[in-house]
């Protein structure tokens, strides 16, 4: 039942984004871009973002704060104070959330992304590494379940 709920939630988020996109911007003609020269396009995924609820210690993850920002501070537009140049369209999120992973993979499919490059510090039991490893594992499992792996396989470098 939880997966059905998360699936519905993901669809609702996607619908809200599409509705907002259509209402906030003028009608535009979209041209499909065909890939030229057979070059692959990869997305860079960083599985280290944690919210207070997902961190396990009730604190914002270091990658939202970088020890200089406080996401508990919210400005007049509703945006939290985070250590980032760009604010996430979907607000702050935990990288390991199943609905988020589904949403990110769906966006990659729509964008024609061929593969994923992921930051992963390894299995050391230090800092937030164990949580990063779990988030990376969750992402890889979802990616493998929804893609054709005939062109290669997941390879984790030591």
Q: What is the pLDDT of residue 148?
A: 47
How far is Cα 119 from Cα 157, in angstroms, rounded to an integer? 11
**Average pLDDT value for residue range 51-71:** 95
Q: What is the pLDDT of residue 64?
A: 96
pLDDT band of 153, cuts 50, 70, 90: very low
Least confident of 26-30, 109-113, 118-122: 26-30
| Pair 50, 60: CB distance under 8 Å | yes
Cross-strand bridge partners of residue 115 = 42
Q: Where are the domains of the chain?
A: 33-146
Name the more confident of 79 and 152: 79
* pTM as predicted: 0.66
To which H or E segment does residue 118 belong? strand 115-118
| Pair 123, 129: CB distance under 8 Å | yes
């Amino acid at each position: 039942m939880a997966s059905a709920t998360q699936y519905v939630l993901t669809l609702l988020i996607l619908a809200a984004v599409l509705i907002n996109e259509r209402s906030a911007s003028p009608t535009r003609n979209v041209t499909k871009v065909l890939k030229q020269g057979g070059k692959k396009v990869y997305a860079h995924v960083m599985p280290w973002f944690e919210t207070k609820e997902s961190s396990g210690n009730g604190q914002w993850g270091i990658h939202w704060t970088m020890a200089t920002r406080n996401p508990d501070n919210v400005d007049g537009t509703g945006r939290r104070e985070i250590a980032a140049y760009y604010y996430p369209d979907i607000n702050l999120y935990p990288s390991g959330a199943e609905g988020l992973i589904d949403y990110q993979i769906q966006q990659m499919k729509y964008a024609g992304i061929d593969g994923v490059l992921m930051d992963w510090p390894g299995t050391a039991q230090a800092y937030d590494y164990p949580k990063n490893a779990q988030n990376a594992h969750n992402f890889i499992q979802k990616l493998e379940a929804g893609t054709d792996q005939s062109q290669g396989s997941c390879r984790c470098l030591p």
